[in-house]
Amino acid sequence: MSDDSATGGLAEQKGAAATPSLGRALLLGTLVVGTLDIVFAILFYGSRGASPGRIFQSIASGLLGRAAYDGGMPAVALGALLQYVISFGIVATYALVSRRIETLRRNAVLLGPIYGIAVYYAMTRVVVPLSAAVVGKPAHGVVLLAGLLAHMFLIGLPAALTARFAMPPSRDAVS
């Protein structure tokens, strides 16, 4: 009789409890990524004169266009909701792809920031231009650098660590 069976599978139960369900990990990852991203935006763009409400309205403008800026608190609330919906998509994408490509989880600290760069370019070059948002000139200088760094370390890295946390790499898998 193995030690594990003698304890009624207690060691196995402890391991299961240490790793959250994928749904719980995605929820936590979404909250972390969405909050880090919006706090960065409020601090960075706030230092450049944008109010928090205006930042949330700019997120809502992806659906509402220019009308978001005249939408008051409902547009701010929609922007806040969309912030977390988008964050969920970013976190879930990495997690779901990493289920098939284990090296994404195994090398999360290295590949997460690279994923963040990919997210930055996907959002600024594809998603936002295809949305109803009013699109300005591409970022450059300190705005570009800050955006890339924020996407690397406040979005990509936590998204990758969420996947790793929810689905630790197997010991025997070859990546």
At 95-132, the pLDDT tens digits run 999 999 999 999 999 999 999 999 999 999 999 999 99
Q: CA–CA separation, 62 vs 7, rounded Å? A: 55
The answer on pLDDT for 2 being more than 60 is: no
In a domain, 11, yes or no: no
pTM for the model = 0.86
Q: CA–CA separation, 152 vs 37, rounded Å? A: 11
Exposed / middle / buried, residue 60 (Cβ in 10 Å: 0-12, 13-18, 19+)? buried
In a domain, 10, yes or no: no
Q: Do residues 162 and 91 touch, judged by C-beta distance below 8 A?
A: yes
The answer on pLDDT for 13 being more than 60 is: no
In a domain, 153, yes or no: yes
Count of structural domains, the chain:
1
In a domain, 30, yes or no: yes
Helical H segments across 22-175, by residue range: 22-46, 52-64, 72-100, 103-106, 108-122, 128-130, 141-150, 157-166
Structural domain containing residue 150:
20-165
In a domain, 69, yes or no: yes
